[in-house]
Amino acid sequence: MKKFEVAGYDMPCVDLAVNVDVFPKPNGGTGINALSWQGGGKVASGMVASARLGGKCAMLGGVGDDDYGKFCLRDFERHGIDVSGMRTREGETTSLSIVLSDRETNGRSIVYRRGTAQALTVAELDREILEDCQWFFMSRASEVCLEAARLAKAAGAKVIVDADSYSSELMEHIDIIDAFVASEFFYNVMFHDKNYEENCKKVFAMGPSIVVFTLGAQGCVGYSEESGFFNLPSFDVKVQDTVGAGDVFHGAYVMGLVKGFNAKEAARLATGVSCIKCTRIGGRAGIPDWNTLQHFLDTGEIDYTEIDRRVEFYGKKLQLSETDGFETLFHK
């Protein structure tokens, strides 16, 4: 039995999520409906979703030694995620994104400041974590990500990728990927028609044993040998903020696979997590735990008892304290 069910690599950031009714025009202004300080990053937020669903998780990557970096590490720890594979770069900064979402279009715009913290080198990869995980979770085809994937696979792990924006480098190494979970943006670059079944099978033939494309409000499509082709609709929820919807889908999807679900069953589970998240601001506050998710899948109703306590927590300030009371929201 491996120590970690999922290990991921990312350069985490901090998201200042701001929600308004309508984007103001130049020289205009508007009131803020909600504001929240939350962690960000594709794999980083996906890993929080995995942990929220009960996964044993570990993160690898780097942050600066500023308050934003401290916040990123602390937030992983709050969720029970092992951070021994993370590196803190002295004198460097962590990336910050100001994520503006509006209720008129349910869209979002991002203004960001890229941090100066350097990515891990291959030599800095924590081999013990990579050799002791069931799944390795990545979003890029950088040298360090590919080497981490190779090390994990050599020890018997499988690899899942969050393929958001199209990457020729990623496609060149698709043979290393077991679960290829990509966005509609990735799909639209690869294909110019809506023959989802045929195109999912084309990607499947390239090497992955599972292929899924997320289609936003339309749900997702996918293919595996066991499940065959599937086309699953989204759930009808009152959307407040779509930030991080794809990130948490991936983290929930891999946990479905960890729990023994087939490709289609895992997709339904992940769709539920993503939809619940979208009813609250930011990429992490609205992520449900396992019981909340199952209640939603069974009844169509969302129990916000715990979720809204998390929303309140993240809306207060940039939480850095080691004794912030958050443990009662996760470690019951």
- Identify whether the C-beta of residue 109 lies closer than 8 Å to the C-beta of residue 20: no
Termini Cα distance of the chain: 25
Domains of the chain: 4-314 (3.40.1190.20)
DSSP sequence for 67-115:
HHHHHHHHHHHHTT-EEEEEEEETT---EEEEEEEETTTS-EEEEEE--
Handedness of CA 41, 207, 256, 79 (dihedral sign): negative
Supply the pLDDT for residue 105. Answer: 82
CA distance 134 to 10: 18
Residue 331: predicted pLDDT: 46
How many Å apart are CA 204 and CA 228, to the nearest integer?
A: 11
Map residue 17 onto helix, strand or coil.
strand
Contact residues for 219 (Cβ-Cβ < 8 A; gap 6+): 231, 232, 233, 234, 271
pTM of the model: 0.94
Q: What is the reported pLDDT for 321? A: 66
E runs forming strands in 179-246: 179-182, 210-214, 220-224, 228-232
pLDDT of amino acid 330: 53
Q: What is the mean pLDDT of each run of 10 residues along the chain (332 residues)?
A: 96 94 90 93 97 98 97 96 98 96 83 96 98 98 97 98 95 97 97 97 98 96 98 94 93 98 98 97 95 97 96 85 54 44
pLDDT of residue 332: 41
The pLDDT of residue 107: 78
